[in-house]
Amino acid sequence: MTRRHLLPSVVAALAVLVVFNLAVEMATRLTARRQFLARLDNAPRDTRLLFLGNSLLEDGVDTGAFAAAWGPAGQAPASFNAALHATTPVEHALILKQALPHLPRVRHIIYGYFDDQLSRQPHTGWRDMISSRALAYSFPEDAAALYAPGSWETAWRFHAMSLVPMLAERTTLWSKVERLRKAMGTWGMPAGTAPKKDLDELTRRLGRVVQEDRGFSAAVKELFRLAETRGARMVVVAMPDNRPPAFHDGPASRALHAYNRAKVEAAHGLYIDASQWIPERKYYEADGVHLNPEGARLFSERLGRELSRGLARSTE
Element (H, E) at 272: strand 270-273
Element (H, E) at 113: strand 108-113
3-state SS assignment for residue 79: strand
3-state SS assignment for residue 82: coil
Walk along the chain (316 residues) and give the pLDDT tens digit of each residue. Answer: 555 556 666 555 555 545 544 444 444 455 667 788 899 999 999 999 999 999 999 999 999 999 999 999 889 999 999 999 989 999 999 999 999 999 999 999 999 999 999 999 998 876 777 778 888 888 999 999 999 998 999 999 888 877 766 555 555 544 454 444 444 443 333 445 566 678 899 999 999 999 999 999 999 999 999 999 999 999 999 999 999 999 999 999 999 999 999 999 999 999 999 999 999 999 999 988 999 999 999 999 999 999 999 887 765 5
Give me the residue spans of the domains in the chain: 1-29, 31-122+195-314
Whole-angstrom distance, CA of residue 121 vs CA of residue 149: 11
The pLDDT value given to residue 210? 97
The pLDDT value given to residue 304? 97
CATH 3.40.50.1110 correct for 31-122+195-314: yes
Phi, psi of 194 (to 5 degrees): -130, 125
- What's the pTM? 0.83
Whether the bond into 122 is cis, omega within 30 of 0: no
The pLDDT value given to residue 134? 85
3-state SS assignment for residue 151: coil
Contacts of 204 (CB under 8 A, 6+ apart): 252
The pLDDT value given to residue 188? 38
Tell me the pairing of strands 79-81 and 233-238. unpaired
Instruction: Check: CB of residue 74 under 8 Å from CB of residue 104.
Output: no
The pLDDT value given to residue 130? 75
Other Cβ atoms less than 10 A from the Cβ of 194: the count is: 16
Nearest to 310 by CA among 58, 70, 104, 112: 70
Whole-angstrom distance, CA of residue 237 vs CA of residue 214: 19
User: What residue type is 195 in one-letter code?
Assistant: P
The pLDDT value given to residue 194? 60
Nearest to 54 by CA among 126, 115, 127: 115
Whole-angstrom distance, CA of residue 246 vs CA of residue 194: 13
Sign of CA pseudo-dihedral 93, 97, 102, 104: positive
What does the radius of gyration of the chain's CA atoms come to, in whole angstroms? 22
Instruction: Check: CB of residue 277 under 8 Å from CB of residue 152.
Output: no
